[in-house]
Amino acid sequence: MAGAIVVILLVVFAVLAPWFGKDPIARDIEHGLTELGAPLAPSADALLGTDHLGRDVWARLAAGAGTSLWIATLATALALAIGLAVGLVAGYLGGWVDGLLMRTVDLVMSFPALLVAILLAALLRETRLAATSTPVILTLGLVSWTTMARVIRSKTQSISASEYITAARATGASVARILARHVLPNVIGVVIVVTAVGFAQNLLNEAVLSYFGLGPAQPEPTWGRMLFEGRIYYRTSPHLLLAPGLAILLAVVAFNLLGEGLRDAFDPKEAR
């Protein structure tokens, strides 16, 4: 419940805050910096202070929330589509199909996911898609489906041994019909859980890619880029690090708590 409440508040913040805040991209060198050219500390005029270009940190944090959540949502949807298809087919058909698909999963998982994500993001940024968020979405989606596939495959295997699946086969139902009408509704609980956990991981990985300059193109604000830009001011203006850092921490913990809670709700035996 705590995770769900934080997630709801985070979504509301990402949706509503930009409508009532300042422009997250607009620079204000004249009024947004001190006489010495340093970022302003948090105050009534700027709740979280300003950055090195006089931009409002609160506005950038809200805009970054929307960007990060949107990228994580699309990347998780892509990963889920791949993982669900692979998991259902491998778990139901078994045999050489299962062996081939699982060896593919093992091959992908043998490489460090974050390093692969950095490599893919760097390669995709050289394409025509560099000016959009598409490279980040594709990168995160293509490296985060393997765990989903393994979990869904395991659940599908146990369901495929059930009597009602045997009865469906006996009536001449096709593989597609059995998967859609009998298997998928019974693995939906697992799907929801792995989606929540995968979303948290994609949210964190997006921040890492943005920190290394492989996230959405400038000037779109992201939490990872805010961390990178504020790193040199950690002594004089720690709010530039604390604001995005705490936002990333809070969001990732909230989605992980939500995933754990959903797992306990859908699988009471495992919770005990």
pLDDT band for 272, please (50, 70, 90 cuts): very low
Let me know how many helices (H) and strands (E) the chain has, helices first: 12, 0
Residue 202 to residues 3, 115, 231, 240: CA-CA distances in angstroms? 17, 14, 22, 23
What mean pLDDT comes out for the span 236-256?
Answer: 89
Q: How many other C-beta atoms can be found within 10 angstroms of the C-beta atom of residue 265?
A: 12
Question: What does the pLDDT read at residue 75?
Answer: 92
> Which among 20-29, 108-117, 127-136, 180-189 has the top mean pLDDT?
180-189
Mean pLDDT for 120-136 is 73
Do the Cβ atoms of 226 and 208 come closer than 8 Å?
no
Q: Is the pLDDT of residue 55 over 50?
A: yes
Q: What is the pLDDT of residues 160-182, one digit of tens each?
A: 888 888 888 888 888 888 888 88
Quote the CA–CA distance of 166 and 171 in Å, as a whole number. 9
Q: Are 167 and 153 in contact (CB under 8 A)?
A: no
% of the chain residues with pLDDT over 90 = 11
CA 182 to CA 178: how far, in whole Å?
A: 5
pLDDT score of 131: 61
For the cut 60, the answer to whether the pLDDT of residue 141 exceeds it is yes
Token code pair at residue 151: 């979990």
Domains of the chain: 2-8+48-271 (1.10.3720.10)
Q: How does residue 212 score in pLDDT terms, banded at 50, 70 and 90?
A: confident
DSSP-based three-state secondary structure for 133: coil
Ramachandran class of 213: left when φ > 0, alpha when ψ lies in -120 to 50, beta otherwise: left
> pLDDT band at 74, cuts 50/70/90?
very high
Residue 128 confidence (pLDDT)? 64
